[in-house]
Amino acid sequence: MIGSLFDMNFDHMITARLVKIIYVIALVLISMVALVVAGYGLAWLAQGATFLALLLLVAAPLLWVFQLLTVRILMEFVINQFKISEYLRAIKDKD
């Protein structure tokens, strides 16, 4: 992958390889945010603010799903762009 950084013709793409790493990092960060929101919900529950606590406890998994879905769609879009590029290159090389 380091050699691809110095490819001045951009024949070797590194973004497609980095998407997996970025997705895992995003998954960890999004999960941590959802856990923090749920933790605040439990803290508010302990303090007696039931409505806000329940709101945060319900919002935490919904937030997790929405954020993960958003990142997944974005990563799939990036991968699709690279696949389109590969297919167009194959078509060009065929002629």
Q: pLDDT tens across 35-89, in order?
A: 999 999 999 999 988 999 999 999 999 999 999 999 999 999 999 988 888 888 8
**What Å distances lie between residue 7 and 25, 45, 65, 84, CA to CA?**
26, 56, 38, 20
What residues have CB less than 8 Å from 14, skipping those under 6 apart?
A: 1, 4, 5
pTM: 0.77
Q: Rounded CA gap, 92 and 79, in Å?
A: 20
For 6-39, how does the pLDDT look when each residue is reduced to its tens digit (9 = 90+)?
777 767 777 878 899 999 999 999 999 999 999 9
Q: Rounded CA gap, 1 and 57, in Å?
A: 42
pLDDT at 56: 94
Q: Is 77 exposed, middle or buried (0-12, 13-18, 19+ CB in 10 A)?
A: exposed
